[in-house]
Amino acid sequence: MLKNHSLVSIDDVTDEDLEEVFRVAERMNSALATGKKVSIMDNKIMATLFYEASTRTRLSFESAMNRLGGSVITVADTSASSVSKGETLADTVRMAASYSDVIVVRHPLEGAARLASQFSSRPIINAGDGSGQHPTQTIMDLFTIRKEAGGIDGKTIALVGDLRYGRTVHSLILALSRFDVDIVLVSPPSLRIPEHFLARIPSSRNIRVETDLDSVISTSDVFYVTRIQKERFTDQNEYKSLIGTYSLDLDDVARMKKGSIIMHPLPRIDEIKPEVDFTDHAKYFRQAAYGVPVRMALISLILEA
């Protein structure tokens, strides 16, 4: 049950919740396609508190709430708010809860959304907490795989790039492990997924670790490519030494299975060459577009009357 609950980790979403979100998101997607009005959030206000850069996540949350007929209040630049005066997250959130019905938080520290949920009288939605999780992104990622790869079960899914710091991968691997999938983790040795995430994957799941993208190119159904998370490195020289580790180009695409799809949570830096965008495999802009119907579904289920 999502109703009136915070969404901090993908563990907050049961298998039944997921199915319900997908059902409602499909309805929202059709309503968006046909221009049908869905004014079910009249009088409801969503607050967005973004302590870290965002384009897609904030815009799609705000677009979703506007499409539902609700309103949005936002702090997109915390240097222009009382945060710059030293206000704690707990105080900001307490106050935001008295101005709104649901609060979307993005913060550079892992655990920040959990902390916010402990001080808020309104549901908190985690829009990314440092290198922790990004559960709403994960739900739209699963929605994309269902729609664009024809389902999740039975697929071989390659997670590629910065698996150490990438929060989208962290919540995605936990969610994928509930399905009957084979997972291949492709990263440089220094950017492997933290052990505590791996430890949570049931032993019945088939997981392989690789450093070379070539080794999975002709066998994967889904390529989930991620950016090296520059802002998480304490040593920028280490970051620089990893730039360009993976760069998917047309030669790679030519060797991919028919019907396989390429995803990316975006922003993309140099992991996927722009010419790949024009191939049938490229689904990352659609994936980003699904952010609106999926977030419409989540907001409406959380704030359900």
Binding site for ligand NCD (CB under 6 A): 56-57, 128, 134, 137, 167-168, 226-227, 265-267
Indicate the residue among 117 and 168 with the shorter CB distance to ligand NCD: 168
Nearest distance, CB of residue 28 and ligand NCD, angstroms: 19
Q: Of the two residues 97 and 113, which places its CB atom closer to ligand NCD in the complex?
A: 113
Q: What angle do CA 108, 114, 118 make, to 5 degrees?
A: 130
Q: Which of 177, 137, 181 is nearest to 157 (CA)?
A: 181
Both tokens of 6, joined, read 């915070």
The least CB distance from residue 267 to ligand NCD, in Å, is: 6
State in angstroms the smallest separation of the CB of 93 from ligand NCD.
20
The 3-state DSSP class for residue 185 equals: strand
* CA atoms of 266 and 236, how far apart (whole Å): 21
Question: 117 or 137: whose CB is closer to ligand NCD?
Answer: 137
**Cβ closest to ligand NCD, residue 97 vs residue 228:** 228
Shortest distance (Å) from residue 111 CB to ligand NCD: 15
Give the nearest distance from C-beta 52 to ligand NCD in angstroms: 8
Closer residue to ligand NCD, CB minimum distance, 31 or 76: 76
Q: Among residues 165, 186, 133, 171, which one has the least CA distance to residue 234?
A: 165
User: What distance in Å separates the CA atoms of residue 245 and residue 280, rounded to the nearest whole number?
Assistant: 24
CB of 133 to ligand NCD, least distance (A): 9
Strand partners of residue 208: 184
Measured from the CB atom, is 70 or 130 closer to ligand NCD? 130
Consecutive H or E run containing 224: strand 222-225
Specify the residue, 135 or 265, whose C-beta has the smaller distance to ligand NCD: 265
DSSP 3-state of 165: coil
DSSP-derived secondary structure letter, 246: -
> Residue 117 or 131: which CB sits closer to ligand NCD?
131
Of 222, 253, 201, which is closest to residue 151 (Cα–Cα)?
A: 222
- Cα dihedral angle (139, 145, 151, 153), rounded to 10 degrees? -80
Minimum CB separation of residue 40 from ligand NCD in Å reads 25
For 207, 225, 267, 289, the CA distances from 248, given in Å and listed in that order, are 22, 9, 15, 22
Q: How far is the CB of 203 from ligand NCD (least distance, A)?
A: 28
Q: How far apart are CA 50 and CA 31, in angstroms?
A: 28
